[in-house]
Amino acid sequence: MRHHLSETSGPQRLIYGLLAGLASAALPLPLVWQFRGLLGWSVGVAVYLALAWWLCERFDAQRTRERAQAQDEPSVVLFFLMLLASMACVAAIVVVMQQGKDYSGTERSMHIALSVVALIASWLFIQTIFAFRYAHRYYQEARRNEPGGPGLQFPGGLDPDYFDFLYYAHVVGMTSQVSDVQVTSREMRRLTLVHSVLSFGFNMLVLALSINVVAGALQ
């Protein structure tokens, strides 16, 4: 079982996360539905991230190549549904934070804390989804011998493993630009553009929510 959990596929991680999220949201706690939704989302994403990073930690470059070509590439529809789910979570956070103005003391602190946790989980979820997407695209282009190469050129010249793609995705997510990794194909540039624009909008929303929290705390 431990071996299975450390080598889950993309759909399996989503199913485990969904089950954990639904179980958390269904707990007999005196919570409003928005609060339950954020709790379930946070737990579900945490399970997904734990399984994804566990897999990345165990896979070297060779196993990453085999895995990225065969699995862990969700359909285009499922891929965009994940991103839409993250945006829906952000909308729920805004609603809960607005409702938090009606509470005080411990209840208000819990609303804000859960909003922050859900926001962080959503951001990490998006970067991890893109990391697996980059890995699949990289080895797909390498297999087809595209003119621009596999699409990304990592420093050192070694074949990348999953953590290299996690590094690239998180750098783009934090800065909306590339760093020491060069983009060498048109398809990878398009994917990086979508990722950077989405991350820029998400980061601006984080900043706006942070200002809202500080302003609310000073009132």
The pLDDT confidence band at residue 170, using thresholds 50, 70 and 90, is very high
Please state, in angstroms and rounded to a whole number, the distance separating the CA atoms of residues 67 and 98: 43
pLDDT, tens only, 68-100: 777 655 567 667 777 777 777 777 777 776 766
Residue 213 tokens read as 């929290």
Please state, in angstroms and rounded to a whole number, the distance separating the CA atoms of residues 212 and 153: 40
Cβ contacts of 21 within 8 Å, gap of 6 or more: 40, 41, 43, 44, 45, 47
Average pLDDT, the chain: 81
- Of 37, 26, 17, 139, nearest to 82 by C-alpha is 17
The pLDDT confidence band at residue 39, using thresholds 50, 70 and 90, is confident
| Helix spans in the chain (H) | 2-5, 10-25, 33-58, 61-70, 76-99, 105-144, 162-175, 186-218
Please state, in angstroms and rounded to a whole number, the distance separating the CA atoms of residues 98 and 96: 5
pLDDT at 117: 84
Please state, in angstroms and rounded to a whole number, the distance separating the CA atoms of residues 151 and 110: 44
pLDDT average, residue stretch 104-130: 82
Higher pLDDT, 25 or 209: 25
Residue 51 tokens read as 């399984």
Please state, in angstroms and rounded to a whole number, the distance separating the CA atoms of residues 163 and 2: 21
pLDDT at 176: 83
What is the three-class DSSP state of 152? strand
Tell me the torsion sign for CA atoms 40, 45, 50, 51. Answer: positive
In this prediction the pTM is 0.87
Asked if residue 159 lies in contact with residue 66, where contact means CB atoms within 8 angstroms, the answer is no
